[in-house]
Structure 1
Amino acid sequence: MDYNLADLFESVADTVPAREALVHLGPPGGAARRLTYAQLDAAANRLAHHLRDSGIAPGEHVGLHLYNGVEYLQTVLACLKIRAVPVNINYRYVADELARLYRDTDLVAVVFDAEFTQRVAEALPRTRMLRHLVQVGTTEEPRINAVPFTEAEASGSPGRDFPSRSGDDRFIICTGGTTGMPKGVVWRQEDLFFSGLGGGAPTGRPVERPEELAERVAAGGEGLVFFPTAPLMHGTSTLTAFIAFGFGQKTVLHRKFVPEDVLRTVAQERVTSVSLVGDAMLRPLVDALAGPLRGTDCSSLLSVSSSGAVLSRTVREEFTALLPGVLLLNNFGSSESGFNGTATQDGKGFRIRVNNRTAVVDPVTHRPVAAGEPGRLAQHGHVPLGYYNDPELTARTFFHEQGERWVLLGDMATVGTDGVVTVLGRGSQCINTGGEKVFPEEVEEVLKAHPGVYDAVVAGAPDERWGERVAAVVQPRPGVATPSQGALQAHCRERLAGYKVPRVVVFADCIRRSPSGKADYRWARGVVGGG
């Protein structure tokens, strides 16, 4: 057996077939759908046979245009079983964006929720390879030639008669949709297992052979409950579910993120680990815990982790005051690198003690920078192969050094003499004001610490003298007097160098973010006049 995700899942399912694997909860009062490992495996087998019988061949790409649900993970597993490549799709995309994504990733099939039928129908004539559609649920919208998911599942065999697989089989994670069209990051499954899934032990010793994963499950018990609250189309949530599968534990899902429902589920399902994305998801949970859901039984909860966006100190402190016994983690990683490390925030900034596969390098020479000098974070070892259908971007982002494959990440950072890395921010969002570099995340952190600010995004606006000036879009906190621009500038001036203080503050009813909670900087630049 190789380090193949389908093989590994099947080995766990054979070890603990009667153990609960997946629970999808509907709205309050609605029925839950519960599947054991054996049931989830059989359901994935049925869909896998349908896809294979429909002509989907190994190596071909299948899009997942779905909200969270059993069907999402079932489809991922079905693709892996027949060596097809699952491709996540942002469900907020309109028809033009979908058509481009379908073409750029060479999709031959799409499994989609009925709510998106009209958009899929509009994009379909502009595709070149898409030939098979499977629709989850029903709709009153114009019907397209799609197989109902229930029929697709019923038509397939629950058994396993699949060809042998390989750790070299592919897995694509689309990323980058908040600043432009997404890029398909191409992973070998073995690399993804060790880098994105921790090699079967995210906080301990990775397995040394594939069979060891099931052996660990057999020797251990159950009781851990993982709850990825962000959309599964955000890579972190899907990988969280597969980490749970690797432990032989339970994953809980909601169709969409509703803070009050999340807290009720923590109590009902005895959730031990919640994963989310930044303040945009943790702050509403804090508000619910401090308000209508005060007193909710969260005694089972061991940890809450954020990936993809940094938790501000203010929100972390508010959460810790409500649930002091829960470990709050700022996990650092990306679709291009998997997991890099867990960060802390102090007076010196956002700091991570990275793993031994991470370095800070000069983006041109790829040589390690001196202590204190800024550079780009880079990772080697188990890293992706590149970006799908984009050799130019692949050449700019991936390189070989001393026989190893490296990836340059988007984050600028410095490294101290103690080996601790301080992350400055995304290089692509860096604001150049008169030659001084300002990273939005640092200014956002300070703005969010003001009692009158609920959320904030910082971007660059054109300036005739300085090239760019720092500008902020601020969402005021409800029930609190809205601070003036001058008050926010004074607040920042006490904590930041003068050139980092926003020259312009635009107030908005709501900050636009992706479904996974990441800030939409392209939108922010438009709001502040940056185009």
Structure 2
Amino acid sequence: MPTLHSWARQAPDKPACILADTGELLTYGVLDRRANAVAQLLLEVGLAPGDGVAILLDNDLAYFELVWGARRCGLYYTPISTHLKAEEAAFIVRDSGARALFASERYADAVAALLADNPAGCTVYAVRGEMPGARDYAAALEHFDRYAELPAGPVGKDFFYSSGTTGQPKGIRQPLFTNNRQAQASGDWVRDSFDFVQDMAYLSTAPLYHGAPLRFTMRTLESGGSVVVMRKFDAPAALAAVERYRITHSQWVPTMFFRLLALPPEVRSRYDLASHRCAIHAAAPCPPEIKEQMIAWWGPIVWEYYAGSERNGVTCISTADWLTHRGSVGRAVVGRLHILDEDQRELAPNQVGDVYFDGPEFVYHNDPEKTARSRNAAGWSTIGDVGYLDGEGFLYLTDRRSHMIISGGVNIYPAEIENRLALHEDVADVAVFGVPNREFGEEVKAVVALKDPSRASPELASALSAFCRETLSHVKCPRSIDFEPELPRHENGKLFKHVLKQRYLDRA
């Protein structure tokens, strides 16, 4: 399959990536040259295959040249959420061992936090604006204006972080690709399932620091297509982008479907969507009635897939199959599925158990215990989901073994929030879990037992919310806080969180 360089030679003036709102773009020829310059820069400052870089940017065309440059050097690249607090972002840079950080001046606080404690000697480059202690990215690239042949070696790979059950984010790491052929083969399921081809135009509606948007834009460029990136999601603007750029493929999360369906009929009918032939959604449970409304509007072009950042397996389902298997997330297209009981015995169809894949390997960086817990004796892995297979091999998810919350496509783990609330002087005990939210799938709920139960009040609930916001990004902070005299715990101290959660599920 062609590489970015071969696409650049074949069609140097074709748009590779475009910012939807401004029309600013990089052609394949320019992207290829800039990625080559980034690779030269990284090699000159001493990075070697297996080292890492980190990226802290808003949706920006520079994302693509940085990632392609890192890939060509055999480096791990770690996108960082722009919603994190300064120290949260700095922790990820340190924990990943990144040797270089590329950031914009909007995140100067995170850069300052990193430079105050920078054991790996990470070099910071200011991609947009200026920051104390940072090098000028544009000036650094000017030294590499000649295209250079780079040494053969492994191909770099993403190294994403998601929240860990201990409260600190956990990196998800896989072995590097040994060569370009292996790197491209890892995306065969995307090309085969969704028909990623050279004439496609892909609309990316979400932040590039998420796994799916970045990975799918990379697959688009591997296929020779054009990527159109929204800086920030807006429902009418997304429809306008489909019309303006003749979008063929797009990706969404259920929250976006809610926003689109909420538009007045005259707005929804204003845009020409005739070019649109594949709308992909994932990241969070989608209410069946919402999906049915999208299919009624857009036609049988709605596809769904299920996967984790761990990439240990993938399922996929078309509109036609979903209509006859309502609620399913599809059949396996990467790895083989197994549903196991608590004794690790394989279950028959329609029996609920833990979802395992015997797919690609991964580790949780710096957490061998969590890595070991994700495996069974056969080497199959799980990311904590629970569900069942029907007689045709279609997977249905019913719950998560862990208490991870997925709100608007963002993974949130309760322990970090619980640890923060437990520090408040009025709190004796706390439980955090997800409760249903029609628009976001789930929202964060906290139930608190106070040292003095008589202090329970709406004012104290507001104070606890503000206490969370001091150190946690807003997406992690509870949408609501309730008070209970005592939380249900076993004699050994284990919290029966499912008892609390069930109360709210029953009410819902």
Structures share fold, TM-score greater than 0.5: yes
Matched with 2:442 is 457
CA distance in 1, matches of 2:226, 2:264: 24
* Most deviating of 341-350 and 44-53: 341-350
Matched residue type, 2:336: T
Contact 1:341-1:355 within 8 A present in 2 as well: yes
Matched with 1:515 is none
Matched with 2:104 is 113
Other structure's SS at 1:111 match:
strand
2:248 pairs with 272, 280, 294, which one? 272
Contact 2:35-2:65 within 8 A present in 1 as well: yes
Matched with 2:230 is 254
Matched with 1:198 is 188
* Most deviating of 250-259 and 181-190: 181-190
Matched residue type, 2:361: P
Matched with 1:490 is none
User: Residues 379 and 130 (structure 1 numbering): CA distance in 2 closer, same or farther, change over 3 Å?
Assistant: farther
CA distance in 2, matches of 1:53, 1:356: 37
CA distance in 2, matches of 1:35, 1:455: 34
Deviation string 1:387-442 (CA, Å, 9 cap, x unpaired) is 122111111113562xxx532122101123332222112221389xxxxxxxx99x
CA distance in 2, matches of 1:177, 1:73: 28
Matched with 2:295 is 320
2:20 pairs with 22, 25, 30, which one? 25
Matched with 2:330 is 352
CA distance in 2, matches of 1:34, 1:348: 40
CA drift of 1:197 comes to 2.2
Contact 1:106-1:130 within 8 A present in 2 as well: no
Matched residue type, 2:262: D
Contact 2:340-2:353 within 8 A present in 1 as well: yes
1:309 pairs with 284, 288, 300, which one? 284
Contact 1:198-1:339 within 8 A present in 2 as well: no
CA drift of 1:186 comes to 1.1
Matched with 1:149 is 137
1:380 pairs with 350, 358, 366, which one? 358
CA drift of 1:338 comes to 6.0
1:66 pairs with 46, 54, 57, which one? 57
CA distance in 1, matches of 2:152, 2:440: 50
CA distance in 1, matches of 2:389, 2:165: 28
CA drift of 1:254 comes to 2.0
Q: What number of residue pairs does the alignment pair up?
A: 430
Deviation string 1:221-260 (CA, Å, 9 cap, x unpaired) is x431011111111010011111112221111112222222
Matched with 2:4 is 9
Other structure's SS at 1:107 match:
coil
User: Residues 269 and 525 (structure 1 numbering): CA distance in 2 closer, same or farther, change over 3 Å?
Assistant: closer
Matched with 2:491 is none
Contact 2:336-2:358 within 8 A present in 1 as well: yes
CA distance in 2, matches of 1:123, 1:234: 22
Give 5+ residue unaligned stretches, structure 2.
Answer: 406-432, 450-461, 463-467, 469-473, 488-508
Other structure's SS at 1:154 match:
helix
In the alignment, structure 1 residue 35 sits paired with structure 2 residue 30 = no
Contact 1:23-1:35 within 8 A present in 2 as well: yes
Matched with 2:490 is none
Matched residue type, 1:19: K
* Most deviating of 225-234 and 179-188: 179-188
CA drift of 1:296 comes to 1.2
Matched with 1:297 is 272
Deviation string 1:71-115 (CA, Å, 9 cap, x unpaired) is 111111111112221011111111221232122211221101221
CA-atom RMSD, angstroms? 3.6
TM-score (norm 2): 0.75
In the alignment, structure 1 residue 186 sits paired with structure 2 residue 203 = no
CA distance in 2, matches of 1:174, 1:99: 12
Matched with 1:95 is 86
1:226 pairs with 194, 202, 209, which one? 202
User: Residues 158 and 398 (structure 1 numbering): CA distance in 2 closer, same or farther, change over 3 Å?
Assistant: farther
